[in-house]
Structure 1
């Protein structure tokens, strides 16, 4: 498994490095809730991406690493966990029956993010993408209920899948340690200059909040 993971992680980091020069700081309003995929991620810590790195940069890498974990767990489940595999097959068939699937086939940089921006107080949306997706899901019949015994057996297999996911995640963390230097070099080259430019622009706007003629008008102004 180690050699396979080595190659997969290297390919994923290579893909992220090819994307990174196209990254630009977001100009829209930030979200109040942290990203559950990236916040406190041991994978990002292993890669050397701390809290000072913009979330968009983090998300592109963490999603690629999560894809590797998901594929490994899917193979393990298909080989060893028949009950869980049958449940996943039914859920996959149910998902394919939905007429609207906006969260599928997204680029890694957008996968797992909320479908809609945070609402602005006093300016409600006429509709949201999440609302439309939920309506499409409601039109698909629910999965058949499970017996108590089947639920207990399924929980055991889910626990085994979780344990395997944690094992693969730890292996990926070890592999990522070997890529930290080139990841950090890319951050220095492509990310830090843009962040510094934003901070410089913000500092300039704070230092000069008024235009040249603003002090020459108004009550108490001197000619």
Structure 2
């Protein structure tokens, strides 16, 4: 586990120097993966850090948790594993899967920007993905007893995920200085430059050379 976390943080540290502020309009809905994340708190990343920077790290760590839970499920939770296998087979049969195999910085992010009022999209990537999923046959129904047993196994998987998450947060504590140093070196100067540029635009709304 320690090796996986170390590698994830190192990969994020290599990526951060390439980060640039987004030029498009920000989204209104918060990211449930990053908002209030104990992983981000463990490395000292606060809510004032741009979401793209947060998401790149939280997604890498989520991959580690997901992998550990998948191994635990395969060993100990046969009913849940069977349901997951059926769902995976169903997903693989979709003709359009735009949300798969994305880089960590984009994994789980919205597939489309927010619409502009009065200018609706002719089509959306998410809409096409939903259409492809709607063409698939539903999963076979479960009996009430099977549903109860499945809920119990899901609860066990969630409990294990929380345990792994707490362990990872402990490991991340030793990366705080490196993570905060990268933010100070590569992220904060770009934010300060944007604020300075905005301040100049507000103080001097008209170019004197054009008067």
**TM bucket normalised to smaller:** over 0.9
TM-score normalised by structure 2 residue count: 0.98
TM-score normalised by structure 1 residue count: 0.93
Whole-angstrom distance in 2 between the partners of 1:212 and 1:71: 59
2:91 corresponds to:
95
Q: For structure 1, list consecutive stretches of 5 or more residues without a partner in the other structure.
A: 217-223
Spell out the pairing of 1:12-51 with structure 2 (5 A cutoff).
12-51=8-47
Whole-angstrom distance in 2 between the partners of 1:115 and 1:36: 15
Spell out the pairing of 1:102-181 with structure 2 (5 A cutoff).
102-181=98-177
Could you tell me how far 1:213 is from its partner in structure 2?
A: 6.3
Query: CA-to-partner distance for each residue in 1:147-199, whole Å, 9 max, x for gaps?
Result: 00000000000000000000000011101101000001111111011111101
Q: CA RMSD in A?
A: 0.9
- Higher Rg of the two aligned structures: 1
- How many residues are treated as equivalent by the alignment? 211
Is 1:186 the equivalent of 2:185? no
* Deviation beyond 6 Å, 4+ runs, structure 1: none
